[in-house]
Structure 1
Amino acid sequence: MSDRPVIGITMGDAAGIGPEVIVRALAHDDVHDVCRPLVIGDAGRLRKAMEIVGSTLELHTVDSPADAHFKRGQIECIDLGLIPDDLPWGKVSSVAGDAAYRYIAKTVELIEAGELDAICTAPLNKEALHAGGHIFPGHTELLAHLTGTEEVSMMLVTPKMKVIHVTTHVGIIDAIARINPGLVTRTIERAHETLARAGNDNPRIAVCGINPHAGENGLFGYGEEDEKIVPAINELRQRGWDVEGPLPADTLFFRAGRGDFDCVVAMYHDQGHGPVKVMGLEAGVNVTVGLPVVRTSVDHGTAFDIAGKGIADERSLIEALNQAVELASRRTVAA
């Protein structure tokens, strides 16, 4: 089927579980039924991962997506050849950090040239990325930089709920300082646009407060909810949007889990990540909202403690690939 989107899979940090989960995921025939996966990474490292997990797949290296066969039983790889054979598993490496950056940069080049339909990223390690000379908090900010995008949002997608974040990789004090009505408004707008693109024209969006009990009418905090969140909600309600809040996060996530809302707006990283990860890392997918390209990711880290042991779980990557297929297909239709 030539209409299957071509998904570029970046290998992530070569010292982590990325190579293993890629090999395991691409052994599933149903992945190949819905997309044409192409790994941008290191062929030698993938071979080592194949040995570790006992894979019988064939590894096929190519110079461009046009050279790939895209068939079951094969892993297609653009080999950048950046990883030495003796790179240890499970240890921070500046070489692996630099390589992780270069995989992403190459993938962005390919998608901007029209050779890929979406990006799906295996995990990178922030310490290694910095050691390699690339000072970004994570994939989200790195991709924004490479695509020249001024502002993006992180959305976590699970079977039970979607959570978008107003702030992400900053300390809690800096996060509170950064939150303002304009940023809250733009974050909700990105959530609304994403949900509408998925076919939900009037999504129910719930907004978390910052303080316990969403401030409880000024009892907790210094009026942050009234100052930073309420003006944004009022503006969007005037457009006729179904936006509720600010609400206490502890009860809001319970309500979202039972289906009361289509999306939750979290104010800071752990407020949104904690409830999602309680559901299980294999269930979550990270979607970068606001980029000019479709990008999804696993919702777990490099897991250095189990890297190289052949026990990493591929289900989050499979979910991320499926989400990339859905978003890429809808984007093509919308275009």
Structure 2
Amino acid sequence: MEDRPRIAITMGDPAGVGPEIIVKTFQDRSIHDCSCPFVVGDATFLREAVSWLAGDLAINPISSPQEASFTPGSVDVLDLENISAAVIPGQPGPSGGKAAVEYIRTAVDLAMGHQVEAVATAPINKKSIHLAGHTWPGHTEMLAEFTDTKDVALMLAGDVLRVVIATTHVPLDAVKELINREQLTTIIRLTHHWLLEHVT
């Protein structure tokens, strides 16, 4: 049995830097030493990113994670083929926002179905997400809805320091109106529970 975790990497907004970041990441073949990564996204956009970067990666479209080869020098792509209108690099738009949400939704469904051990997301564009008709302020709230999770918090983690954010996506002068005892208690409880489970 494979010891390396299977990781679904979402492509992010196709008009953004996600395809480029993914190609640069997969050009470092050591990514396969510690994981079995594949992309949930669009094979055409990844091929274009390989071309822009003068790379030599092979793009391998798949229809399920079980078809992935996890071969260094190639990118397995669960190709949703869901970009319905022209996407212009660097310009937010509803087509890119819709596609980015669908990549994340698919990856979350795979994780909830125990087909992957983790999900990593390339950058999304909040304006594109909103133009596509969604109102989430960011990833955290989107993931909470997709997993039917009531209490969530965003944790920034390094080797020795972990910081849990009490408010997200609000101007600094609005923070004082949003912080309250109940919210802080929930954040502290979530953090404590996570640390007990994951930090020894």
Give the TM-score of the pair, scaled to structure 2: 0.93
CA shift for structure 1 position 186: 1.9
In the alignment, structure 1 residue 88 sits paired with structure 2 residue 72: no
Q: Cα–Cα, structure 1 residues 199 and 162, in superposed 2: closer, same or farther, change >3 Å?
A: closer
SS at match of 1:155: strand
C-alpha distance in 2 between matches for 1:60 and 1:26: 13
Give the Cα separation in 2 of the matches to 1:54 and 1:194: 42
Aligned partner letter, 2:6 = V
Give the conservation status (yes or no) of the 8 Å contact 2:86–2:95. no
- Give the corresponding residue for 1:20: 20
Structure 2 stretches lacking a partner, 5+ long: none
Aligned 1:94-243 pairs, distance under 5 A: 94-159=94-159, 161-200=161-200
1:154-182 deviation line (CA, Å, top 9, x unaligned): 11123463221111123445432221222
Do the aligned residues in 2 keep the contact of 1:45 with 1:83 (CA within 8 Å)? no
Over residues 268-318 of structure 1, what are the superposed CA-to-partner deviations in whole Å (9 max), with x where a residue is unaligned? xxxxxxxxxxxxxxxxxxxxxxxxxxxxxxxxxxxxxxxxxxxxxxxxxxx
Alpha-carbon distance in structure 1 between the residues aligned to 2:159 and 2:111: 28
1:52 equivalent in alignment to 2:52: yes
Q: Please give the secondary structure, in 2, of the residue aligned with 1:15.
A: coil
- 2:8 is matched with 8
Spell out, residue by residue over 1:7-66, the C-alpha distance to the aligned partner (whole angstroms, 9 max, x if none). Answer: 010111111110000011112122101111110001100001111111111111111111
8 Å Cα contact 1:9/1:121 also seen in 2: yes
Task: Give the letter for the 1:193 counterpart.
Answer: H
Tell me the CA shift for residue 198 of structure 1. 3.5
The 4+ residue runs of structure 1 with deviation greater than 4 A are none
The residue matched to 1:29 in structure 2 has which SS?
Answer: coil
Alignment size in residue pairs? 200
Secondary structure at the counterpart of residue 75 of structure 2: strand
Inter-partner Cα distance in structure 2 for 1:162 and 1:122: 21
User: 1:165 corresponds to which letter in structure 2?
Assistant: I
Q: Name the amino acid aligned to 1:192.
A: H
Equivalence for 1:292: none
Contact 1:19 1:49 in 2 (8 A): yes
Distance 1:173 1:150 in 2: 26
Mapped to 2, the partners of 1:85 and 1:38 lie a distance apart of 25
Does the aligned pair in 2 maintain the 1:44–1:85 contact within 8 Å?
no
Query: d(CA) in 2 for partners of 1:150 and 1:172?
Result: 24
Q: Distance in 1 between matches of 2:51 and 2:84?
A: 17
* Maintained 8 Å contact 1:60/1:74: yes
Q: Render the CA deviation track for 1:215-234: whole Å, top value 9, x for unaligned.
A: xxxxxxxxxxxxxxxxxxxx
SS in 1 for 2:40: strand
Q: Secondary structure of the equivalent of 1:135? A: coil
The whole-number CA distance in structure 2 between the counterparts of 1:42 and 1:137 is 24
1:113 Cα deviation from its structure 2 partner:
1.5
- 1:256 maps to none
The one-letter code matched in structure 2 to 1:168 is T
Q: Secondary structure at the match of 2:127?
A: helix
Which piece of structure 1 moves more, 153-162 or 61-70? Answer: 153-162
**Cα distance in structure 1, aligned partners of 2:35 and 2:9:** 11
Q: How do 1:275-294 residues align onto structure 2 when only pairs under 5 Å count? A: none
**Scaled by the length of structure 1, what TM-score is found?**
0.57
**Contact 2:85-2:95 at 8 Å conserved across structures:** no
How far apart in 1 are the matches of 2:152 and 2:84? 34
Which 10-residue stretch deviates more, 78-87 or 121-130?
Answer: 78-87
